Chain A
Amino acid sequence: MSDPTIQAPSRPGRSKGAVRPTKHAVVSMGTMGVNLARVAIIGGFLLLWEIASGKWIEPFLVSSPSRIFLSLISGYRDGDLLQHTWVTFQEIAIGFPIGAISGIALGYAFGRSRLLAEIFEPIIIALNGIPRTALAPLFIVWLGIGLWSKVGVVFLLTFFLNFFNTYTGMRQMDQEYVDLAGLMGVKGWKLTFKVILPAISPYVFTGIRTSIPFAVIGAIVGEFVAATEGIGFFIRMSAGIFKTADVFVGIIVLMIMVIIIDRIAELIERRALRWQSQTEHIRIQA
């Protein structure tokens, strides 16, 4: 079984925004070289694959880049693949935001209320210990084989990551910011949205970014267990009839999906955390 996260550009932990601009500036001379090296490696790999397939390895086991490409084109041409992609996208588009927002909200609530945290923390940790994909069959039983069972699994996989990251942020937060804001008469929702959430936003974004591949895993696992459409269903069905090229097509679609969602999240993150960037340092001479 292929894990879609392996192909995705993994970025565990946000690279500190502060480093980004300077790093880019330093590397800019070598950017061309880096890109060339990348293209060469990927191109070489694809070429080797293409040659090996049929020559040294049975094509039905590994397919080949050209076959995969053709399958991808024809799949989208008859609309089949588009429908599967749309279904999987819907599952993620509903489950992921709900999971992320409720995880963030609960993490925030735990951070605000010591009582709540003391009562529920062990329970949450115990629940987190359950291998969550093992719950996928249960969701099918509860919510049927349609959209909502997959939304449930996506929710489950995103929720905990967002919860733990936000809660960590709340515990690391500097009390003095809240005190100072309070002294300046800021309280209620303004305190939450203008002080606390911005203060913990680096943690919140780490949660969101790391949970993106897991949202996709959730959707696919749900579809593997029982479904009539979706990319996971498409992959399982194609493997069942040895259409290896289509299996790879499914994997590629998932990869692209993760990359696109991650890029969008990265853009939002970069805007929201632009205050972390440290492009120049001004010194005052007394």
Chain B
Amino acid sequence: MADLMPNPGTVAPLQTDAVIRVEKVCKAFYTPSRENLDALIDIELSIHGGEFITVVGPSGCGKSTLLRLIAGFSPCSSGRIMFQGEEVRGLNTKVGYVPQESKLFPWLTVEENVGFGLDSKQYSRADRERQVSQFVHLAGLAGFEKYYPAQLSGGMSKRASIVRALVYEPPVILMDEPFGPLDAQTRMVLQDELLKIWEKKRQTIIFVTHDLVEAVALADQVVVMTHRPGKIRDVLQVPMSRPRNIFEIHRQGGFDEAYGRLWNIFRHELSIGAH
């Protein structure tokens, strides 16, 4: 289950070795009443370079917690996470992170936000400007460089937040329900843009969502998690060709079949969660 096979019918992964290997990871939190609350139990997962992974599960299943562990925001209770062969201890500066809310730095302009991760030691001023300008354009934010986040719409903040994580080109991007609070149309536009960017850059993306259509439409593989305490229920291949047309994803070959399989798995989780 956890051992993933190369996807038939899609672009071959750039690397064959796993970029991320989650090994027997458990995470427990202390509740205010001092009891242990198991968020994740025995998570085993390996993720290969250049893949687009989506993670779905009922709310509260620990999807976000898993991302936070990979980012190194908090330590695993047991088990370990290997990133490019090294164990993650402390902040994992090789990943980009797109939080649920945009979380742009409100005191910085759009271009300052986008350029925030470009270290002044690694990038010359000119390089930095070029990179920022390229990604601002990529995000469709040209003309809004000098705007502050408070002056942007939800969709624009979201784009800025995404390119802020992409701009310094980390090998892995973690996205925590980035399109959750957006309206359906904006969501589709952004999904489409995200796929276009990804097809150009081919970073590894781990994308948490609760939307099954989104999960299938974007992914090479869908990781399905169980109701709390979160375990991995299944890993589903999505053998749809790329590039994909998000706006007519239902008509694309393989979608219905993949969605049907996902729904079959997921249905059980919902009924467990409903009691």
Would A183 and B97 count as touching, CB distance under 8 A? Answer: yes
Q: Is B134's CB within 8 Å of the partner chain A?
A: no
Q: Is B2's CB within 8 Å of the partner chain A?
A: no
Would A181 and B151 count as touching, CB distance under 8 A? Answer: no
How distant is the Cα of A141 from the Cα of B85 in the complex, in angstroms? 67
How distant is the Cα of A149 from the Cα of B50 in the complex, in angstroms? 68
Give the residues in chain B near A198, CB-CB below 8 Å.
105, 107-108
Q: Is A19's CB within 8 Å of the partner chain B?
A: no
Would A281 and B153 count as touching, CB distance under 8 A? Answer: yes
Q: Is A177's CB within 8 Å of the partner chain B?
A: yes
Q: Is B15's CB within 8 Å of the partner chain A?
A: no
Among A180, A276, A280, contact of B103 (Cβ-Cβ < 8 Å):
A180
Would B116 and A280 count as touching, CB distance under 8 A? Answer: no
* Chain A: interface residue total (CB-CB under 8 A): 28
* Chain B: interface residue total (CB-CB under 8 A): 35
Give the residues in chain B near A275, CB-CB below 8 Å.
106-109, 148-150
List residues 134-153 of chain B with CB under 8 A from any CB of chain A: 144, 147-153
Q: Is A11's CB within 8 Å of the partner chain B?
A: no
Give the residues in chain A near B151, CB-CB below 8 Å.
278-282
Interface string of B69-113 (1 = CB under 8 A from A): 001110000000000000000011101110100010111110000
Q: Is B243's CB within 8 Å of the partner chain A?
A: no
Q: Is B195's CB within 8 Å of the partner chain A?
A: no
Give the residues in chain A near B96, CB-CB below 8 Å.
183
Q: Residue among A278, A280, A282 with the most chain B CB within 10 A? A: A282
Q: Is A28's CB within 8 Å of the partner chain B?
A: no
How distant is the Cα of A198 from the Cα of B148 in the complex, in angstroms? 14
Q: Is A9's CB within 8 Å of the partner chain B?
A: no
Among B97, B119, B153, contact of A284 (Cβ-Cβ < 8 Å):
B153
Q: Is B168's CB within 8 Å of the partner chain A?
A: yes
Would A278 and B150 count as touching, CB distance under 8 A? Answer: yes
Would A183 and B92 count as touching, CB distance under 8 A? Answer: yes
Give the residues in chain B near A33, CB-CB below 8 Å.
none
State how many angstroms separate the Cβ of B94 from the closest Cβ of chain A. 9
List residues 168-184 of chain A with CB under 8 A from any CB of chain B: 174, 176-177, 179-184
Query: A180-B103, A286-B185 in contact; A185/B153 too (CB < 8 A)?
Result: no
Interface string of A262-286 (1 = CB under 8 A from B): 0000000000001111111111101
Query: A198-B107, A282-B151, A282-B156 in contact; A184/B189 too (CB < 8 A)?
Result: no
Among B72, B117, B152, B156, contact of A185 (Cβ-Cβ < 8 Å):
B117
Give the residues in chain B near A184, CB-CB below 8 Å.
93, 116-117, 168
Give the residues in chain B near A279, CB-CB below 8 Å.
151
Interface string of B150-190 (1 = CB under 8 A from A): 11110110000000000010000000000000010110110
Give the residues in chain B near A177, CB-CB below 8 Å.
103, 105
Would B188 and A286 count as touching, CB distance under 8 A? Answer: yes
Among A18, A176, A283, A286, contact of B189 (Cβ-Cβ < 8 Å):
A286
Would B168 and A276 count as touching, CB distance under 8 A? Answer: no
Would A282 and B71 count as touching, CB distance under 8 A? Answer: no
Would B150 and A277 count as touching, CB distance under 8 A? Answer: yes
Would B108 and A186 count as touching, CB distance under 8 A? Answer: no
Would B91 and A182 count as touching, CB distance under 8 A? Answer: yes
Would A183 and B91 count as touching, CB distance under 8 A? Answer: yes
Q: Is A8's CB within 8 Å of the partner chain B?
A: no
Closest to B143 in A: A282
Query: A180-B99, A183-B91, A183-B92 in contact; A286/B186 too (CB < 8 A)?
Result: yes
How distant is the Cα of A177 from the Cα of B109 in the complex, in angstroms? 15
Closest to A179 in B: B73
Q: Is A199's CB within 8 Å of the partner chain B?
A: yes
State how many angstroms separate the Cβ of B182 from the closest Cβ of chain A. 9
Give the residues in chain A near B73, CB-CB below 8 Å.
179
Q: Is A201's CB within 8 Å of the partner chain B?
A: yes
Give the residues in chain A near B183, CB-CB below 8 Å.
286
How distant is the Cα of A186 from the Cα of B96 in the complex, in angstroms? 13
State how many angstroms separate the Cβ of B260 from the closest Cβ of chain A. 28
Q: Is A253's CB within 8 Å of the partner chain B?
A: no
Among A276, A281, A284, contact of B155 (Cβ-Cβ < 8 Å):
A284
Interface string of A236-256 (1 = CB under 8 A from B): 000000000000000000000
Q: Residue among A18, A184, A277 with the most chain B CB within 10 A? A: A184
List residues 153-174 of chain A with CB under 8 A from any CB of chain B: 174
State how many angstroms separate the Cβ of A176 from the closest Cβ of chain B. 5
How distant is the Cα of A283 from the Cα of B147 in the complex, in angstroms? 13
State how many angstroms separate the Cβ of A193 from the closest Cβ of chain B. 11
Give the residues in chain B near A284, CB-CB below 8 Å.
153, 155-156, 186
Would A179 and B188 count as touching, CB distance under 8 A? Answer: no
Closest to A186 in B: B116
Taking beta carbons and an 8 Å cutoff, which residues of A are in contact with B? 18, 174, 176-177, 179-186, 195, 198-199, 201, 274-284, 286
A-B contact pairs, 7 of them (CB 8 A): A181-B116, A182-B93, A183-B96, A198-B108, A275-B148, A276-B150, A278-B150
7 closest residue pairs by CB, A with B: A286-B185, A184-B117, A198-B107, A275-B148, A182-B91, A275-B107, A278-B150
